Amino acid sequence: MTYQELVQKIVDLQNDGLELFNAGKSVLGKNLLGTHLGSYEGNQIVIQGCIHAREYITTLLMIEQVKYLHSQGLNVSGGIYFLFMTDPDGVEIVLDGINSAPCEITKQYLILGNNNSTNFSQYKANINQVDLNTNFDADWGQGTQNVFCPNSENFCGFYPESEREVQGLVNFTLKNRPLLTISYHSKGEVIYYGFQGESAENLERDRQIGTRLSEETGYQLILTENSTGGYKDWCIRKLQIPAYTIEVGRSELPHPIGIEYLPEIFEQNRYVPELALGLANEYASQIKSAKIVNINTKERKIKNDSYARSGFNGAKSFQNRRSTSWSSNHQK
Protein backbone atom coordinates (compact mmCIF):
# COMPACT_ATOMS: atom_id res chain seq x y z
CA MET A 1 0.00 0.00 0.00
CA THR A 2 1.27 3.46 -0.89
CA TYR A 3 0.65 6.62 1.11
CA GLN A 4 -1.67 7.89 -1.63
CA GLU A 5 -3.67 4.66 -1.56
CA LEU A 6 -4.12 5.02 2.20
CA VAL A 7 -5.27 8.64 1.90
CA GLN A 8 -7.62 7.65 -0.91
CA LYS A 9 -9.38 5.26 1.48
CA ILE A 10 -10.18 8.25 3.68
CA VAL A 11 -11.20 10.46 0.74
CA ASP A 12 -13.45 7.68 -0.60
CA LEU A 13 -15.60 7.93 2.53
CA GLN A 14 -17.18 10.91 0.77
CA ASN A 15 -18.67 8.45 -1.72
CA ASP A 16 -20.75 7.10 1.18
CA GLY A 17 -22.06 10.60 1.90
CA LEU A 18 -19.64 11.45 4.70
CA GLU A 19 -18.15 14.93 4.88
CA LEU A 20 -14.46 15.39 5.53
CA PHE A 21 -12.80 18.35 7.22
CA ASN A 22 -9.29 19.45 8.10
CA ALA A 23 -8.29 19.53 11.73
CA GLY A 24 -5.11 21.32 10.72
CA LYS A 25 -2.02 20.86 8.57
CA SER A 26 1.17 18.84 8.79
CA VAL A 27 4.63 20.42 8.58
CA LEU A 28 4.64 19.67 4.84
CA GLY A 29 1.15 21.10 4.43
CA LYS A 30 -0.87 17.90 4.24
CA ASN A 31 -4.43 18.01 5.55
CA LEU A 32 -5.18 16.39 8.90
CA LEU A 33 -8.37 14.76 7.68
CA GLY A 34 -11.34 14.02 9.87
CA THR A 35 -15.03 13.31 9.77
CA HIS A 36 -17.92 13.67 12.20
CA LEU A 37 -20.67 11.18 12.95
CA GLY A 38 -23.87 11.75 14.89
CA SER A 39 -25.16 15.12 16.02
CA TYR A 40 -23.31 18.37 16.67
CA GLU A 41 -25.80 18.88 19.49
CA GLY A 42 -25.03 17.34 22.84
CA ASN A 43 -21.82 15.77 24.04
CA GLN A 44 -18.89 15.19 21.71
CA ILE A 45 -15.89 12.88 21.80
CA VAL A 46 -12.69 12.80 19.72
CA ILE A 47 -11.00 9.67 18.40
CA GLN A 48 -7.60 10.25 16.81
CA GLY A 49 -5.04 7.85 15.40
CA CYS A 50 -1.71 7.41 13.70
CA ILE A 51 0.14 10.08 15.63
CA HIS A 52 3.09 7.69 15.22
CA ALA A 53 4.04 7.10 11.60
CA ARG A 54 4.44 3.32 11.63
CA GLU A 55 1.05 2.85 13.33
CA TYR A 56 -1.06 3.46 10.20
CA ILE A 57 -3.07 0.31 10.99
CA THR A 58 -4.98 2.63 13.34
CA THR A 59 -6.02 4.81 10.38
CA LEU A 60 -7.39 1.73 8.64
CA LEU A 61 -9.18 0.71 11.85
CA MET A 62 -10.86 4.11 12.16
CA ILE A 63 -11.98 4.01 8.52
CA GLU A 64 -13.68 0.66 9.26
CA GLN A 65 -15.27 2.06 12.42
CA VAL A 66 -16.63 5.04 10.49
CA LYS A 67 -18.02 2.86 7.71
CA TYR A 68 -19.69 0.58 10.22
CA LEU A 69 -21.23 3.38 12.28
CA HIS A 70 -22.32 5.27 9.19
CA SER A 71 -24.16 2.22 7.83
CA GLN A 72 -25.70 1.28 11.19
CA GLY A 73 -26.46 4.78 12.45
CA LEU A 74 -25.47 6.07 15.86
CA ASN A 75 -27.73 4.86 18.67
CA VAL A 76 -26.37 7.31 21.23
CA SER A 77 -26.97 11.05 21.51
CA GLY A 78 -24.11 13.43 20.75
CA GLY A 79 -21.37 13.12 18.17
CA ILE A 80 -17.96 11.64 17.40
CA TYR A 81 -15.05 13.35 15.67
CA PHE A 82 -12.66 10.95 13.96
CA LEU A 83 -9.20 12.29 13.10
CA PHE A 84 -7.67 9.65 10.91
CA MET A 85 -3.98 10.45 10.68
CA THR A 86 -2.15 12.94 12.85
CA ASP A 87 1.28 12.29 11.29
CA PRO A 88 0.73 12.09 7.50
CA ASP A 89 4.27 13.24 6.63
CA GLY A 90 5.76 10.43 8.69
CA VAL A 91 3.35 7.86 7.25
CA GLU A 92 4.43 8.83 3.74
CA ILE A 93 8.08 8.12 4.66
CA VAL A 94 7.14 4.74 6.19
CA LEU A 95 4.98 3.63 3.26
CA ASP A 96 6.78 5.18 0.27
CA GLY A 97 10.34 5.18 1.59
CA ILE A 98 12.96 7.84 2.22
CA ASN A 99 13.04 8.91 -1.44
CA SER A 100 9.62 10.50 -0.86
CA ALA A 101 11.33 13.12 1.34
CA PRO A 102 10.82 16.60 -0.14
CA CYS A 103 14.51 17.38 -0.72
CA GLU A 104 18.01 15.95 -0.37
CA ILE A 105 18.87 17.78 2.85
CA THR A 106 15.67 16.59 4.55
CA LYS A 107 16.47 13.09 3.34
CA GLN A 108 19.96 13.17 4.86
CA TYR A 109 18.60 14.73 8.07
CA LEU A 110 16.07 11.91 8.42
CA ILE A 111 18.66 9.20 7.72
CA LEU A 112 21.00 10.67 10.37
CA GLY A 113 18.25 10.47 12.99
CA ASN A 114 17.32 6.97 11.84
CA ASN A 115 20.62 5.40 12.95
CA ASN A 116 22.04 6.05 9.48
CA SER A 117 19.58 3.55 8.04
CA THR A 118 17.51 4.04 4.88
CA ASN A 119 14.95 1.54 6.19
CA PHE A 120 12.09 3.64 7.59
CA SER A 121 9.57 0.88 8.28
CA GLN A 122 10.00 1.43 12.04
CA TYR A 123 9.86 5.24 11.89
CA LYS A 124 7.58 6.93 14.45
CA ALA A 125 8.24 10.67 14.27
CA ASN A 126 7.09 13.49 11.98
CA ILE A 127 9.14 15.05 9.17
CA ASN A 128 11.06 17.17 11.73
CA GLN A 129 11.91 13.96 13.63
CA VAL A 130 9.76 15.00 16.56
CA ASP A 131 7.77 12.24 18.28
CA LEU A 132 4.42 14.04 18.17
CA ASN A 133 3.02 12.14 21.13
CA THR A 134 5.70 13.63 23.39
CA ASN A 135 5.32 17.22 22.11
CA PHE A 136 2.15 18.22 24.01
CA ASP A 137 2.27 20.64 26.93
CA ALA A 138 1.77 18.15 29.77
CA ASP A 139 4.92 17.78 31.86
CA TRP A 140 6.73 18.15 28.55
CA GLY A 141 10.27 16.77 28.51
CA GLN A 142 9.90 14.80 31.74
CA GLY A 143 9.19 11.39 30.24
CA THR A 144 11.75 8.74 31.09
CA GLN A 145 12.24 7.90 27.40
CA ASN A 146 12.39 11.48 26.10
CA VAL A 147 15.41 12.48 24.05
CA PHE A 148 16.34 16.05 23.19
CA CYS A 149 17.76 15.75 19.72
CA PRO A 150 15.98 14.85 16.45
CA ASN A 151 15.42 11.10 16.26
CA SER A 152 13.18 8.49 14.66
CA GLU A 153 11.41 8.23 18.04
CA ASN A 154 11.15 9.84 21.49
CA PHE A 155 12.41 13.35 20.55
CA CYS A 156 9.96 15.64 22.36
CA GLY A 157 10.80 18.71 20.25
CA PHE A 158 12.77 21.80 21.22
CA TYR A 159 9.75 23.18 23.09
CA PRO A 160 6.17 22.01 23.80
CA GLU A 161 3.67 22.28 20.93
CA SER A 162 6.49 23.14 18.53
CA GLU A 163 4.97 20.95 15.82
CA ARG A 164 2.24 22.02 13.45
CA GLU A 165 0.39 18.70 13.80
CA VAL A 166 0.29 19.09 17.59
CA GLN A 167 -0.89 22.71 17.28
CA GLY A 168 -3.65 21.51 14.95
CA LEU A 169 -4.82 18.83 17.36
CA VAL A 170 -4.67 21.19 20.35
CA ASN A 171 -6.67 23.89 18.57
CA PHE A 172 -9.19 21.39 17.26
CA THR A 173 -9.71 19.93 20.73
CA LEU A 174 -10.07 23.33 22.40
CA LYS A 175 -12.53 24.36 19.72
CA ASN A 176 -14.75 21.32 19.96
CA ARG A 177 -14.48 20.58 23.68
CA PRO A 178 -14.86 16.80 23.73
CA LEU A 179 -15.91 15.10 26.97
CA LEU A 180 -13.62 12.17 26.26
CA THR A 181 -10.82 11.34 23.85
CA ILE A 182 -9.35 8.12 22.55
CA SER A 183 -5.94 7.90 20.90
CA TYR A 184 -5.37 4.79 18.84
CA HIS A 185 -1.83 3.44 18.80
CA SER A 186 -0.20 0.08 18.16
CA LYS A 187 0.68 -2.31 19.71
CA GLY A 188 0.13 -4.57 22.74
CA GLU A 189 -3.66 -4.86 23.26
CA VAL A 190 -3.66 -2.59 26.30
CA ILE A 191 -5.47 0.60 27.34
CA TYR A 192 -3.63 3.34 29.22
CA TYR A 193 -5.54 5.71 31.49
CA GLY A 194 -4.75 8.46 34.00
CA PHE A 195 -1.94 10.98 34.25
CA GLN A 196 0.27 12.17 37.07
CA GLY A 197 -1.21 15.01 39.10
CA GLU A 198 -4.79 14.00 38.31
CA SER A 199 -7.23 14.27 41.21
CA ALA A 200 -8.21 11.03 42.97
CA GLU A 201 -11.81 11.68 42.02
CA ASN A 202 -11.06 12.06 38.31
CA LEU A 203 -8.69 9.11 38.35
CA GLU A 204 -11.41 6.87 39.78
CA ARG A 205 -13.86 8.16 37.14
CA ASP A 206 -11.32 7.39 34.41
CA ARG A 207 -10.66 3.95 35.86
CA GLN A 208 -14.37 3.12 35.82
CA ILE A 209 -14.81 4.24 32.20
CA GLY A 210 -11.57 2.51 31.23
CA THR A 211 -12.79 -0.72 32.80
CA ARG A 212 -15.79 -0.67 30.48
CA LEU A 213 -13.54 -0.10 27.46
CA SER A 214 -11.31 -2.91 28.68
CA GLU A 215 -14.27 -5.30 29.02
CA GLU A 216 -15.42 -4.44 25.49
CA THR A 217 -12.05 -4.89 23.78
CA GLY A 218 -10.53 -7.56 25.99
CA TYR A 219 -7.49 -5.29 26.36
CA GLN A 220 -5.85 -4.89 29.76
CA LEU A 221 -6.36 -1.53 31.52
CA ILE A 222 -3.09 0.01 32.75
CA LEU A 223 -2.40 3.17 34.76
CA THR A 224 0.05 5.43 32.89
CA GLU A 225 3.52 5.77 34.43
CA ASN A 226 6.69 7.57 33.37
CA SER A 227 5.16 8.90 30.16
CA THR A 228 4.52 12.59 29.50
CA GLY A 229 3.69 14.99 26.69
CA GLY A 230 1.11 12.77 24.99
CA TYR A 231 -2.26 13.86 23.64
CA LYS A 232 -3.98 11.74 26.28
CA ASP A 233 -1.85 13.35 28.99
CA TRP A 234 -2.65 16.83 27.69
CA CYS A 235 -6.40 16.13 27.60
CA ILE A 236 -6.32 14.94 31.21
CA ARG A 237 -4.11 17.78 32.44
CA LYS A 238 -5.60 20.74 30.55
CA LEU A 239 -9.22 19.73 30.04
CA GLN A 240 -9.59 17.37 33.01
CA ILE A 241 -11.52 14.94 30.87
CA PRO A 242 -11.15 11.16 30.68
CA ALA A 243 -8.69 10.29 27.92
CA TYR A 244 -7.30 6.95 26.82
CA THR A 245 -4.55 5.48 24.71
CA ILE A 246 -5.65 2.22 23.14
CA GLU A 247 -2.85 0.05 21.78
CA VAL A 248 -4.20 -2.31 19.12
CA GLY A 249 -2.51 -5.42 17.77
CA ARG A 250 -0.95 -8.31 19.63
CA SER A 251 2.39 -7.52 21.27
CA GLU A 252 4.20 -10.30 19.42
CA LEU A 253 3.39 -8.81 15.99
CA PRO A 254 6.15 -6.74 14.37
CA HIS A 255 5.75 -3.06 13.43
CA PRO A 256 4.09 -1.95 11.27
CA ILE A 257 1.12 -4.24 11.99
CA GLY A 258 0.14 -6.02 8.77
CA ILE A 259 -3.16 -5.24 7.08
CA GLU A 260 -4.09 -8.92 7.37
CA TYR A 261 -4.66 -8.29 11.10
CA LEU A 262 -7.18 -5.50 10.47
CA PRO A 263 -10.28 -7.78 10.65
CA GLU A 264 -9.19 -9.11 14.06
CA ILE A 265 -8.43 -5.61 15.37
CA PHE A 266 -11.68 -4.21 13.99
CA GLU A 267 -13.73 -6.92 15.70
CA GLN A 268 -12.14 -6.02 19.03
CA ASN A 269 -12.83 -2.30 18.47
CA ARG A 270 -16.04 -2.26 16.42
CA TYR A 271 -18.22 -0.93 19.22
CA VAL A 272 -15.64 1.24 20.97
CA PRO A 273 -16.65 4.62 19.42
CA GLU A 274 -20.33 4.23 20.28
CA LEU A 275 -19.53 2.80 23.71
CA ALA A 276 -17.14 5.68 24.43
CA LEU A 277 -19.76 8.28 23.49
CA GLY A 278 -22.32 6.46 25.62
CA LEU A 279 -19.90 6.50 28.55
CA ALA A 280 -19.22 10.22 28.00
CA ASN A 281 -22.98 10.80 28.25
CA GLU A 282 -23.27 8.57 31.30
CA TYR A 283 -20.43 10.30 33.13
CA ALA A 284 -21.07 13.81 31.78
CA SER A 285 -21.99 15.22 35.19
CA GLN A 286 -18.58 14.13 36.49
CA ILE A 287 -16.67 15.67 33.58
CA LYS A 288 -15.82 19.32 34.09
CA SER A 289 -15.91 20.29 30.43
CA ALA A 290 -19.47 19.06 30.02
CA LYS A 291 -21.02 22.40 30.94
CA ILE A 292 -18.68 24.33 28.66
CA VAL A 293 -19.49 22.11 25.69
CA ASN A 294 -23.20 22.65 26.11
CA ILE A 295 -22.88 26.42 26.43
CA ASN A 296 -21.01 26.60 23.14
CA THR A 297 -23.31 24.32 21.19
CA LYS A 298 -25.03 27.03 19.15
CA GLU A 299 -21.83 28.84 18.25
CA ARG A 300 -20.10 25.60 17.37
CA LYS A 301 -22.92 24.44 15.11
CA ILE A 302 -22.83 27.65 13.12
CA LYS A 303 -19.09 27.35 12.63
CA ASN A 304 -19.33 23.72 11.68
CA ASP A 305 -22.04 24.48 9.15
CA SER A 306 -19.99 27.17 7.45
CA TYR A 307 -17.05 24.85 7.64
CA ALA A 308 -18.91 22.04 5.89
CA ARG A 309 -20.09 24.39 3.16
CA SER A 310 -16.58 25.49 2.35
CA GLY A 311 -15.53 21.90 1.70
CA PHE A 312 -12.58 20.22 3.34
CA ASN A 313 -10.02 21.50 0.85
CA GLY A 314 -11.05 25.09 1.31
CA ALA A 315 -11.35 25.09 5.08
CA LYS A 316 -7.96 26.44 5.95
CA SER A 317 -8.73 28.73 8.81
CA PHE A 318 -9.83 26.03 11.23
CA GLN A 319 -6.57 25.74 13.09
CA ASN A 320 -6.42 29.46 13.63
CA ARG A 321 -9.71 29.57 15.45
CA ARG A 322 -9.22 29.34 19.15
CA SER A 323 -11.48 29.01 22.11
CA THR A 324 -11.44 32.36 23.85
CA SER A 325 -11.28 30.90 27.33
CA TRP A 326 -8.13 28.94 26.58
CA SER A 327 -6.31 31.16 24.11
CA SER A 328 -4.12 32.93 26.64
CA ASN A 329 -2.69 29.62 27.82
CA HIS A 330 -2.05 28.22 24.40
CA GLN A 331 -0.78 31.02 22.20
CA LYS A 332 2.77 30.14 21.28
By CB under 5 A, name the binding residues for Zn ion.
52, 55, 185
Peptide bond between residue 256 and the one before it cis (omega within 30 degrees of 0): yes
Q: Which is nearer to Zn ion, 52 or 300 (CB)?
A: 52
* Extended beta strands in the chain, E state: 20-25, 31-38, 44-49, 79-83, 180-186, 190-193, 220-223, 243-248
CB of 230 to Zn ion, least distance (A): 9
Rounded-to-integer distance, Cα 167 and Cα 161, Å: 6
Q: What's the min distance (Å) between Cβ of 58 and Zn ion?
A: 8
Backbone angles phi, psi at 303, to 5 degrees: -65, -40
Strand partners, 186: 248
Specify the 3-state DSSP secondary structure of 155: strand
> What is the residue-wise DSSP string for 55-110?
GTHHHHHHHHHHHHHHHH---SSSEEEEE--S-HHHHHHHHH-GGGSSSHHHHHHH
| Length of the chain as a residue count | 332
Give helix then strand counts, H and E, for the chain: 12, 8
Task: Quote the CA–CA distance of 250 and 186 in Å, as a whole number.
Answer: 9
Q: Which is nearer to Zn ion, 175 or 185 (CB)?
A: 185
Query: Nearest approach, Cβ of 52 to Zn ion (angstroms)?
Result: 4
Nearest CA-CA partner of 177 in 273, 297, 267 = 297
SS3 category, 18: coil
Closest by Cα among 236, 176, 243, 165 to 36 = 176
Pure H helices in the chain: 3-11, 57-72, 88-96, 104-113, 164-176, 200-217, 231-234, 262-269, 272-282, 289-295, 297-314, 327-330
Shortest spacing between CB 184 and Zn ion, in angstroms: 9
Q: Which is nearer to Zn ion, 226 or 328 (CB)?
A: 226
CA 209, CA 203: separation in Å to the nearest integer? 10
Which residue's Cβ has the minimum distance to Zn ion?
185
Least distance to Zn ion from the beta carbon of 133, Å? Answer: 6
Write down the least CB distance from residue 293 to Zn ion, Å: 27
